[in-house]
Amino acid sequence: MILTSASAAALDAADPVAAAREHFILPPGVIYLDGNSLGALPRATPARLADVAVQEWGEGLIGSWNAADWIGAPARIGAKIAPLIGANPREVIAADSTSVNLFKLIAGALAMRPDRRVVLSEPGNFPTDLYMIEGLARMGLAELRLAPEEIAASIDEQVAVVVLSHVHYKTGAVHDMAAITAAAQAKGAMVLWDLSHSAGAIPVMLNVCNADLAVGCGYKYLCGGPGAPAFAYVAERHIAAFANPLSGWMGHAAPFAFADGYAPAPGIERLLCGTPAILGLAALEVGVETIAAIGITALDAKRAALTEAFAQSVLVLGAGHGLERVGPRDPAQRGSQIAFRHSEAWAINRALIARGVIGDFRAPDILRFGFAPAYVGYGNALIAAQTLAEILATKAWDCVEFRERLPVT
Ligand SMILES: *Cc1c(COP(=O)(O)O)cnc(C)c1O
């Protein structure tokens, strides 16, 4: 289906999620297709942050750890993330960054498989996932193996834990969580799913898939703000045996007993390390509530239709200029993004941004467009496709200004 002004307007008018756009603040004239990198600002967040700073911190001072339940924030917010990822509320905690949570969970999994050392991942996985495994290998705790092609076929009795992104950050391809989890468990291995590009974008069913471990990002589709705390999931059946290698006092069974010896909290709180970042958690809580209130089923249905409409429109409107579609054609097989390859992807993306269409560039040659369905509509998708087509047809990207490289892409 190719979008036209008429069909885009009709689709927006019939869109059950369209009203959710009002729950976000976006600058006028901007079409924001980077919610998979930094989610938009929920309208309720600035006032909530001001309240936490001025009232809870400024007035309540240290008493707010109890009075405002700051101390309960990581588990409380984890419980709110849980339904979005098919977990039970006792299995998820908001804490640290995704990278740090990867360290904790991979090291914890290795300790649960003491006769195995291999951590299996795939080439082209998100860099931090691979780098964290490399770090564990340098500490002598792990051996990194990259699956040559088929993941399930590469799992053998040496593998302690399989670490995969559920949705691939560049191509948007989705791994079959149930099948890979079952294949790993059949060989006695655990699986750690990185849900950074899944949580808040597509339904995830950790419990149904019998998943062992998961981590994910708070600042992408969950709209928690730049550098928001991430989350970690440990299946309830593993929690009692799970040892957090970063055994900080906040993960202790009784932090305020100030005992010399470490004893882990009985529940998911054992995943904590140090004092939680309350301001960041406050923003994350608003983001999670905002997305959860819209409903992941409705968001997923719109995601599938919207990404498909955009991809088809680009392929027709922008035909003949060297764009190559990347990633799964079947909406059920991908996340909430569309990617194209082009040798001039960097400059094209700069030209798009200059025209108010904010997608991103992923090295070496990928144009990536995230469609956060909570605040992107069909009219936006049409303008983005038309703008891209215009830039390609006129070669507007071909100038010094747009070729200049910037540090953050
Ligand atoms: C965004 C992302 C991360 C981010 O990790 P941080 O520690 O928050 O910087 C990790 N893994 C994947 C797959 C991601 O997409």
Q: Tens of pLDDT along the chain (409 residues)?
A: 899 999 999 999 999 999 999 999 999 999 999 999 999 999 999 999 999 999 999 999 999 999 999 999 999 999 999 999 999 999 999 999 999 999 999 999 999 999 999 999 999 999 999 999 999 999 999 999 999 889 999 999 999 999 999 999 999 999 999 999 999 999 999 999 999 999 999 999 999 999 999 999 999 999 999 999 999 999 999 999 999 999 999 999 999 999 999 999 999 999 999 999 999 999 999 999 999 999 999 999 999 999 999 999 999 999 999 999 999 999 999 999 999 999 999 999 999 999 999 999 999 999 999 999 999 999 999 999 999 999 999 999 999 999 998 888 8
CA distances from residue 231 to 36, 43, 66, 175, 241 in whole angstroms, order as listed? 16, 23, 22, 20, 19
Distance CA(83)–CA(88), nearest Å, equals 7
Contact, 283 vs 217, CB < 8 A? no
Nearest C-alpha to atom 4 of ligand 1 is from which residue? 98
Q: Ligand 1 centroid vs 98 CA: distance in angstroms?
A: 5
Q: Give the DSSP letter string of 162-204.
A: EEEESB-TTT-BBP-HHHHHHHHHHTT-EEEEE-TTTTTTS--
| Architecture category of domain 5-32+295-403 in CATH | Alpha-Beta Complex (3.90)
User: Could you identify the atom of ligand 1 that is nearest to the CA of residue 125?
Assistant: 13
pLDDT at 153: 94
Of 24, 32, 126, 375, the active-site residue reads: 126
Closest ligand 1 atom to 129 CA:
11
Radius of gyration of the chain (CA): 22
Fold of 47-294: Aspartate Aminotransferase; domain 2 (3.40.640)
In whole angstroms, what is the distance from residue 194 CA to residue 325 CA? 24
- Ligand 1 and 337: CB distance under 6 A: no
Known catalytic residue at 220: yes
Residue 37 near ligand 1, beta carbon < 6 Å: no
Residue of 360, 368, 371, 375 marked active site: 368
- Return d(Cα 129, Cα 162) in angstroms, integer: 11
Tell me, what's the pLDDT at 187? 98
- In the residue annotation, 169 being an active-site residue is answered as no
Whether 354 and 380 have beta carbons less than 8 Å apart is answered as no
Known active-site residue 310: no
Decide whether 5-32+295-403 matches 47-294 in CATH topology. no
Residues in the chain, overall count: 409
List the domain boundaries for the chain. 5-32+295-403, 47-294
Q: Cα separations (Å) of 17 from 23, 47, 181, 376, 381?
A: 11, 24, 32, 10, 15
| Ligand 1 close to Cβ of residue 96 (< 6 A) | no
Q: Whose CA is nearest to atom 10 of ligand 1?
A: 98
In whole angstroms, give the CA distance from residue 205 to residue 103.
23
Catalytic choice (34, 129, 194, 360) = 194
Q: Look up 219 and say whether it is catalytic.
A: yes
| Nearest residue (CA) to ligand 1, atom 1 | 196
